[in-house]
Amino acid sequence: MNTPDNPYLLLTPGPLSTSRSVREAMLRDWCTWDDDYNLGVVTPIREELVRLATATSPQDYTCVLMQGSGTFSVEAMIGTAVPRGGRLLVLANGEYGSRLARISRTLAIDTVVHDSGELAPPDLAKLEAALKEEASITHVVCVHNETTTGMLNPLEGIAAVVKRHGRVLLVDSMSAFGGIPLDVAALGIDFLVSSANKCIQGVPGFGFVIARTRLLEECAGRARSLSLDLFDQWRGMEEGRGKWRYTSPTHVVRAFAQAMKELEEEGGVAARHARYTENQRRLVEGMEGLGFRCILPHDLHSPIITGFHDPEDAGYRFRDFYDRLKARGFVIYPGKVTGIASFRIGTIGHVFPADIDRLIRAVGESMHWAK
């Protein structure tokens, strides 16, 4: 809901709208040397994230928290998991998949990219052929929900192929984890990354990696960066019982603990997924009722974010539309699909079906180009 201290809802790919109670959890300071913080806040978060990631085999996984926005954790994961002499196959179909490839090349990792284009899911037959023919490929990385378009990539299918060929699987589940049910152990995912301010609905400031403990243990000395060394960060948190190597974003972490509590109170990931799904259903129904068209076919959509074609009317300007919606309490996001004039509306965060109904009314009132 919009309140005087929070004048608009963020219907964007992140940061997202948060609850007032999450923001209020930041109103005190914490000592990072003390058990109050390390054992009382950080350690339970790490344990609960592992349980969220796998109900079947939590004993096989561990969790590392990392300062920075989500990309920092992606870079830490790739730079620590792939050894010298390793080769990484990147499945890309949008901005975030391309970023995985850019990170890998920046770290001087031997990189192969399978880009299926922004409007198509990854080509599983091509993946299968590459893993069969090229023994040099040691690791595969993919995006779970491609936030560029809102496409939900076929994680089960990708994981099945990668596991059949015995490779290590890394997943950027930034905009899906906590909002779309999954079990990393059941799928065979080895490393998965997400951040505080997407579906868990915390505030921005850190990311986290869920890792298969047995594989992370092999990663000593591999990282191409001091501060983004996931192995060292993990050792520090294990030996220091929740201690971060360098200054911890204490207020953000405390807000995240509150966000985790609110996720549980809502009914867990299944309930959150149901809310996001209903948000997105009402969004698409309402927007199509007003004459807008989705970029993706409905069956490729995640409940996370939806891309719409710009109206073709000569009088349409994104900036004017944006400003009119903002004045009515909603902010939306420009599109990023190559060659398609578009905009995006997110349906995650502290946003409810009644908010989407209000949004649709506001969109109807903001279509000045159609009048």
Residues binding ligand PLP (CB under 6 A):
13-14, 69-71, 74, 96, 143, 147, 172, 174-175, 195
Complex with ligand PLP: residue 38 or 248, whichever CB lies closer: 248
Residue 34, burial from CB neighbour count under 10 angstroms (0-12, 13-18, 19+) = exposed
Nearest approach in angstroms of CB 274 to ligand PLP is: 21
Nearest approach in angstroms of CB 65 to ligand PLP is: 14
| Total residues found in the chain within this entry | 371
For the chain, helix (H) and strand (E) counts, in that order, are 14, 14
Complex with ligand PLP: residue 54 or 153, whichever CB lies closer: 153
Nearest approach in angstroms of CB 214 to ligand PLP is: 26
Complex with ligand PLP: residue 127 or 193, whichever CB lies closer: 193
First to last CA, the chain: 29
Nearest approach in angstroms of CB 145 to ligand PLP is: 6
Complex with ligand PLP: residue 175 or 342, whichever CB lies closer: 175
Nearest approach in angstroms of CB 357 to ligand PLP is: 26
Asked if residues 142 and 91 have their Cβ atoms less than 8 Å apart, the reply is yes
The 3-state DSSP class for residue 220 equals coil
Q: What's the CA gap between 142 and 122, in Å, rounded?
A: 9
* Residue number closest to ligand PLP, CB atom: 70
Q: What's the CA gap between 147 and 145, in Å, rounded?
A: 6
Complex with ligand PLP: residue 114 or 311, whichever CB lies closer: 114
Q: What is the largest CA-CA distance in the chain?
A: 65
Nearest approach in angstroms of CB 74 to ligand PLP is: 6
- DSSP letter string, 231-280: HHHHHHHHHTTS--SS---HHHHHHHHHHHHHHHHHTHHHHHHHHHHHHH
What Cα–Cα distance (Å) separates residue 58 from each residue in 138, 204, 294? 25, 26, 38
User: Rounded to the nearest 5°, which phi and psi values hold at 196?
Assistant: -65, -30
Complex with ligand PLP: residue 96 or 321, whichever CB lies closer: 96
Complex with ligand PLP: residue 153 or 258, whichever CB lies closer: 153
Nearest approach in angstroms of CB 348 to ligand PLP is: 10
Complex with ligand PLP: residue 69 or 213, whichever CB lies closer: 69
Asked if residues 72 and 123 have their Cβ atoms less than 8 Å apart, the reply is no
Nearest approach in angstroms of CB 314 to ligand PLP is: 33
